[in-house]
Chain A
Amino acid sequence: MALKRVSFWAVFAALLVFSFFAWAETLGEDESFTIKVSGQKTWGIQMGFGDPTLLSLQGLAPGQLTLTQSLWAQIEGTVLDFLTIKASFNDQLGPGFQEFLAIVDRKPWYAELGRFVVGQEGDALGVYNKKVLGARVRAERDNIGLSALLARLEGISESLTFRGTTGHADLAFHYEDPNQPWLPAPYLSSVEGLFFFSLRLPFVEGFSKPVLAFRLDQAFVQFLSDWGLGWLEKTVEKNAEVELPSGAYLVIQDGGDVLLLRREPKVLLRERILELIDLHNAALAPGEEKKSYPFVEGSDLESAFLSALAAFVELRLDEEAYSLTEASRHRYLSLGETGIIEDSLQVEVRLPGDAVFRDLTDPLLSAYFVRLFSEKGVLRLDFPEEFFRPGAALRVSFDYAREGVTFFLGLSLIPGSERVYLNGQLLARDTDYSIDYEAGLLTLFVTMGPQDELRVDFERQRGALGVPTEYERYFLGASLELGRGALEVWQAADFGSPSPTSRTMPNTHSLAVFSWQGKLEEWDYSLRLGFSQNVFPADDNARLPGKNKVNAIASVFTADGEALVFAHQNGITVYQNGRFSNYGATEGLAGRAALSLLSLPNRLLIGTDSGLTIVDLSEPGAFGRVRSWTRLYPEDWNKERTEKFQGKEILALTMDGTQVYMATEKELIVAPLASLAKPSEWMRLGLPEGRPIALLWAQELYLGTTAGLFRLGQGGWESLGVPGPVYALLWLGGELLVAGEEGIRVLRGGAGAGWVVYGVSVRSMAVWQDFIWYTTQDGVYREGALVISGDFTALGSGLQGLWAGTKADNNYSLELWRVDPEPQRFSQAQTGIDGRDLGQFADPPPEEHTRMGPTASLVLSRELEEWELGLSLYSRFPGYEEIGRLGRSDAHGLGFTARFRGDGALSLSLQGWADLYELTTRPTLRLRGGVEGRWQGPVALSFTVSPTLSGLGRAAQLSTDFQIGAQAGSNPAWNLGLSGRLTAPEAYLAGTVSGKLSYQPWPGFSLSLSWSRPYRSKGAAGTEALTFTARLSGGTSYAWSISWEEALSHRLDQAEWSSSRKILGELRLSPLTLTVGKIAPRISATALVNPAEWRVSANTTAELALSGHNLSVRLSTGQGVRPATERVDRALSLSFSWSPKNLPGTSLEYARSWQILLHPRYPPQVSEDQSLQARLSFEVLQGKNELTLSWAPSGGLQITNRFRHNAGFGPLTVESNLTLREGKVSAKTEVEAALTLAPQWGLNISGGLLLGAFPIRTAAYLSATLLANF
């Protein structure tokens, strides 16, 4: 890979150098040099003094010099008539926003260097508007063209499709987490559903506010004390209640109001405790020790605490209290979207123990019912209780109404990379849509109907906030054009080699295309042949994770009793009281892999791949307490040391009673037991040959390495003549047992004394019940007899038994065993140990992850009188993929099109296609046709029929889409339409009949009636809708309008219609001339009635133009009623503004509003708001002064005065600001002068004073900025 990289860059450099020097011979003609450079450079310095809080608002710290600078430049020009430079730099923006392009244009050469765009629509590449950074060269002479390209790709192609006014979602709910089946599914995707409370009183929006409250009694105080949180008592007393955030719950009506928790109760409780701890810490005096959350999140201890805490917490709502323990589950699922279209809902169920998903109509599911609350996006399950067990799952798919014209594409979009298609038509930016690249929002200006499809292809930045990538990606290609033919070769490749922790392989995607165009008799033809090879494509480039294995087993004694600890590549697993718990780096380990264990009185040492962890076992629930864990990283070992430790992996641990010995990959560390947590007192000794594997203290220190067995003596390490690798050491009855590749050797007095077992590689040993037990790749043995088969890697005793751990198999299944007495197996589902070693990955073979395939196409076209004829043949194998385009297909076929383009009113088109799909797997033939006609007469008629016959050779399906329409313009205007789909063999017909009639009896009066009715031969009937609209407007000296919209709808299976109406009226009187001026009043009113709510509102506005003054007064009022909840809301607002004509910039604005909420059960809720703003502008001291006063109850009072004066040296600005809010005063005065030093040089000097009260604080700052304009 390194050689490939070097040669790649060498070729690139040579290409460029050659390109430039190739022009040398043509120079010497007219030389010209016109380069325009413009921009600005600034250097700034700032310094602040005084109160740090006040200065932080200005971005300064007291006494600290802050440097600022900026440079932006635009460069454009031509050199020597053939070299053009365009550049735009701004050093405040990232590299992606810098533009640079050098163009060399000198026949026959053309070259670009810098940032440019590749790809045109229709190119074999499938790339478009792709912004790259690189070089491109082209040479053209006569009919021959040669080009080459080398560039760095800056984005990753993505595509999002939005259909009509609906979105689509597919969800899955499980009992267990599908990726980690030993863990329960995350709360929102758990098949058990949301926790809910059936409310005893109706929930009224705006009045009912759920509150989480602690039950403050003696038992709670004792509870806090028992859990070591007695210090939190006072804080809880002062903050016993907190309103539940609106996003944490929702309420539905299901035979009464039901409150559903969007967050799990234990999460709410944990967050509440964390908030209370923050409040406690905020109230501490300086110097007092701050507290932190004492539990390891997700640990059994924390779970026990939160479960016990729930008994003291209530949900209070409308004078009712609900204990958190009352919450139920197994009923409601949140679908994550609202406005779900009922007819689109599909539900499939997988029963526990079953492997397949079944539709709800399956006879086995006769007792299973669902009900959809479409507006809230909640699905109610009425399932038998026995469903909610491990293995249960649910799949739900649905469409939902998407509101608005804004589409979220995600962050880090590459500017200019998007292509937006509406029904296949490319839209223009700023005309048809706008896009905010920073926020990732696309706003559509064109109307999108229910049947329309919007597709957005774009690129997202690689890395940073964009798509995480492990490699840089480059793009190179070359093409040769000979007359009408062309040969192109392209490659996009990831650079870099995978590291041991890389999760993906680098991709190389190569493409070759040959094309030829010409004319054969009357036919124009275009032939294209292509081939692509994609090695490790994006959806098939995962590296193979390593296999997890158990490295060590140790027994420890905690305050809760004995526990067994298993160390493995992903952390440790603790078995205690019949339960397994897992702990990793997040919980307290210094590294990812736990390599060695040492059990000490009240402590456990864990050697990891990145340091040492000490767990204090003296407290109950030790593993679940944050303070029990101490991490010691290598940086911590080396603090205040002259002789540094070099290693970081602790491969083996042992102890001699007073000292702990730790073998790293670089040295032996000796740490006194009393100063384990003080690395400055540790000692460093060298190591013998080989990488350490096992350590043992038995009167002397023994070390087994990959090179052999060594003993530490007075003169250092001495070899004991045992070849390596040595996997384990054991001291038994004065003899040293050494486990290695050849078996278990016995040493007595340092000399060989036979073998326990010979001829087999032994990984670990233990003495249990007076027998020597050992593990090999084949199993666990007891002195030669196989006890359990398997690939075992560790042995240990504890909990009155002998235990063994394995290495994961090819399916990443890792097991723990209690070997003796009574062998018992613990599966992954019980232990929760991930069988994959996610810290090590191996390369998969490229040949198994390579896709390649050809494509070919031939297009013929001609004109025959009034017909345009076309014929095309294509073949595309699944291995063929275009660079930069997503998706593949295995499709082959031919088709024809015929268009009649007469001069008359009739237009007709015919088309037919025969496609063969999945040729290489399950061939399926599909025939498609289409007839489309349009006739323009007094009535415009149109029809479309598109039959499709698919699945020939298997289960054939016929589906025909049809549409017939008639419309007439003028007055009255009408249209009638019938659309639908007919399918066979299971006959199904569905569609919509619709019509619209518009009539304008006279100008100013318009009527319209629209109607739609779905029809279908089976399934949900749908909804029929009828809308009537009348608009009347008129007036000569005044203008008035009134509109009435009545919408009726009913489900076809129900006779009852529901209606809603909207009435709008507006009156605009012509300006009346008064003695003092003119007044132009406007009145409008709106009434809305629908089954859920009715609302009336009115607005009155009057604009007065008095002599010398402009006055505007606005009054609006409204009332709304929700009959179902008996909720009434009333609103009144008044606003007034005035500005004098002879004082531009002067104005006065005042606004006041009231809102009243009424309900028979609650006292009225009144809220009001007001604001005042006054602005006065006048000339004084040869300058302009602007005084602004603004006041609002929520924002306080703010007075700002700004004075600007053009002094001899430049503009001078003095701005003062005074703010009074919530009893606190702050003030700021800033003086800024802009000095012109020279024609292109300026100096801005500013200084400011800051004041805050109460308490009184002051600060000041100075800044100077030098500018150079060029």
Chain B
Amino acid sequence: MRFLLVLLVITGFTGWGITLDTPLDLARPAFAWSLLGVDLAIPGFLANPGALPFRTSLDLTSTFSSLFGVVRIWAASLGAPGFCAEGILVDGGLIEPNLSYQVWAGRIGMGLALGDFGLGGQLRILRPAGPQALLGGALDLGIFWTGPVYVGIVAESLASLSPYPGEKWPTDLSLALVWQGDLQEFLGVVGVGFMDFLSLPTWVLAGALDFRGLELALGLREANLSFGGRVRASWFSVEWAFSLHPDLPLSFRVSFVLRWP
């Protein structure tokens, strides 16, 4: 029963099933989580390898989330100008004697700036450790453009190897557009996104306000609403996000980010 509950929590929460996306999406840092995918077109976030060259700082992010006390997710990610790496553990714990659910996942991404464009690629790895030890991975491509409107496009699974025999990870495409505005004393960001439009197209609307030290964000993905924020100090920041889903109870996550400089 616990195993089914673990699966139910993961599939119900993400709505996408147990794919390579699942642990990586579950482990997103809190502030990025609240943007629900629009962060593909915002420099400084790790979701789009094409945006990596436009990062200006070195970040180490630690995220922990407990989904309804059933599944725990640990993630640590490193983001640097042109580079990112991430390690994730999704742990359903010991379900029964000799039965546990555990998935390790990771990502390495690199990007190159070509004028206003950024081009990048990332390798995603999935290693379910329990109940069976398996290995799979996929290659993604990301494009980013810093024009009057920021545009981010990510093509996922251009090449892939699923750890589950007979199961394929189809190529998918996601697009986000973001407008940034300087509203005197604070910055505003509004974006729209079209996620996974080759398989399960969903639209996203998100926005954020940056009070230069405090940021608040709000995201809407169909019936899923999330809001979050982050506070930046000199060498660290704390991020949080609440997510409201019509079919699931309230969820919460918080991240701690170390930053240089």
Spell out A's residues near B (CB within 8 Å).
Answer: 2, 5-6, 9-10, 12-13, 16-17, 20-21, 24, 27-28, 31, 33, 35, 37, 39, 41, 43, 67, 69-71, 73, 75, 77, 79-80, 83, 85, 87, 89, 91, 94-96, 98, 100, 102, 113, 133, 152, 154, 462-464, 472, 495-496, 642, 644, 1268, 1270
Contacts of B254 in A (CB 8 A): 71, 73, 89, 91, 98
Binds A, one of B46-54, B109-117, B218-226: B218-226
Tell me, yes or no, whether B198 is within 8 Å of chain A by CB. Answer: no
Which single residue of chain B is at the shortest CB-CB distance from A80? B185
When the two chains form their complex, are residues B223 and A9 in contact, meaning their CB atoms are under 8 A apart? yes
Chain A residues with CB under 8 A of B180: none
- Interface flag for B22 (CB, 8 Å): no
Q: Which of A6, A95, A102, A642 contacts B249 (CB 8 A)?
A: A95
Chain A positions within 8 Å of B74 at CB level: 67, 69
Closest 9 pairs between A and B when the two form their complex, measured CB to CB: A95-B252, A41-B256, A95-B250, A79-B211, A495-B246, A27-B185, A5-B223, A73-B238, A91-B254
B214 at the interface (CB under 8 A from A): yes
**Contact with B216, one of A43, A69, A80, A102 (Cβ below 8 angstroms):** A102
29 contacts between A and B (CB under 8 A): A5-B246, A6-B223, A9-B225, A12-B225, A13-B207, A13-B220, A13-B225, A16-B218, A17-B207, A27-B184, A28-B185, A33-B211, A33-B212, A35-B213, A35-B231, A37-B231, A69-B74, A71-B64, A71-B256, A87-B240, A89-B238, A89-B252, A91-B64, A91-B66, A91-B254, A98-B252, A133-B250, A464-B249, A472-B245
Instruction: Quote the shortest CB–CB distance from A74 to chain B (angstroms).
Output: 10
Which of B222, B236, B256 has the largest count of A CB atoms less than 10 A from its CB? B256
Q: Which residues B193-232 have CB closer than 8 A to chain A?
A: 205, 207, 209, 211-214, 216, 218, 220, 222-223, 225, 227, 229, 231
Residue B31 lies at the interface, judged by CB distance under 8 Å to chain A: no
Closest to B190 in A: A17
- Apart from A80-B186, A642-B165, list 18 A-B contacts with CB within 8 A: A5-B246, A6-B223, A10-B220, A16-B218, A24-B184, A28-B185, A31-B185, A33-B212, A71-B62, A73-B254, A75-B231, A87-B229, A89-B252, A91-B254, A94-B252, A102-B216, A102-B229, A1270-B233
The minimal Cβ–Cβ distance linking B60 to chain A, given in whole angstroms, is 11
In the complex, A98 Cα to B229 Cα: how many Å?
Answer: 14
Indicate if the CB atoms of A21 and B183 lie closer than 8 Å.
Answer: yes
Write out the residue numbers on chain B whose beta carbons fall within 8 Å of the beta carbon of A85.
Answer: 214, 229, 231
Asked if B252 contacts A13 (CB within 8 A), the reply is no
Chain B count of residues within 8 A CB distance of the other chain: 49
Residues of B within 8 A of A5 (CB): 223, 246
**B103 on interface, CB distance cutoff 8 Å:** no
B64, B68, B205, B209: the one within 8 Å of A13 (CB): B205
* Binary flags per residue of B160-194, CB closer than 8 Å to A gives 1, else 0: 00000110000000000000000111101010000
Write the chain B residue with the least CB distance to A12.
B225
Contact with A152, one of B68, B69, B238, B250 (Cβ below 8 angstroms): B250
Q: How far is the CB of B197 from chain A (nearest CB, A)?
A: 18
A91 to B73 alpha-carbon distance, docked (Å):
12
Bound: A48/B221 CA distance, A: 43
How near does chain A come to B181, taking the closest CB pair, in angstroms?
Answer: 10
In the complex, the chain A residue whose C-beta lies closest to that of B246 is A495
B83 touches A (CB below 8 Å): no
Task: Give the shortest distance, in Å, between A418 (CB) and chain B (any CB).
Answer: 21
Nearest CB of B to A70, in Å: 8
B19 within 8 A of A: no
Residues from chain A with Cβ under 8 Å of B95 in the complex: none
Q: Considering the chains assembled together, what is the distance between the CA atoms of A464 and B245 in angstroms?
A: 15
Q: A73-B254, A95-B251 are in contact. Are A80 and B211 (CB under 8 A)?
A: yes
B38 sits at the interface (CB 8 A): no
Instruction: Give B79 Cβ to nearest chain A Cβ, in Å.
Output: 18
Determine the chain B residues whose CB is within 8 A of the CB of A133 once the complex forms.
Answer: 242, 244, 250
Check A75–B222 contact: CB distance below 8 A. Answer: no
Q: Which of B223, B236, B240 contacts A2 (CB 8 A)?
A: B223
CA distance A12 to B220 in the complex (A): 10
When distances are taken between beta carbons in the complex, the residues of chain A under 8 Å from B188 are 21
Q: How far is the CA of A35 from the CA of B229 in the complex (A)?
A: 13
Q: For B190, what are the chain A residues with a Cβ–Cβ distance below 8 Å? A: 17
Any chain A CB within 8 A of the CB of B84?
no
A37–B64 CB distance below 8 A: no
Q: How far is the CB of B125 from chain A (nearest CB, A)?
A: 18
Instruction: Tell me which residues across on chain B come within 8 A of A10, comparing CB atoms.
Output: 220
Judging by beta carbons under 8 Å apart, are A100 and B240 in contact?
Answer: yes
Let me know if B89 is at the binding interface, CB within 8 A. Answer: yes
| B66: A residues at CB distance < 8 A | 91, 94
Residues of A within 8 A of B209 (CB): 20
CA distance A17 to B247 in the complex (A): 25
Residues of A within 8 A of B233 (CB): 37, 1270
User: A residues within 8 A CB of B225?
Assistant: 9, 12-13
- The 8 Å CB contact of B256, one of A6, A21, A24, A1268, is A1268
B207 partner residues in chain A, CB cutoff 8 A = 13, 17
Q: Which residues of B contact A98 (CB under 8 A)?
A: 240, 242, 252, 254
Known: A9-B225, A43-B62, A69-B62. A83 touches B256 (CB 8 A): no
A1270–B68 Cα distance when bound, in Å, is 28
Return the chain B residue nearest A13 by Cβ. B220
Residue of chain B at shortest CB distance from A65: B89
- A39 & B220 in contact (Cβ 8 Å cutoff): no
CB neighbours (8 Å) of A35 from chain B are: 213-214, 231
CB distance from A823 to the nearest CB of B (A): 46
Q: Which of B166, B183, B251 contacts A642 (CB 8 A)?
A: B166
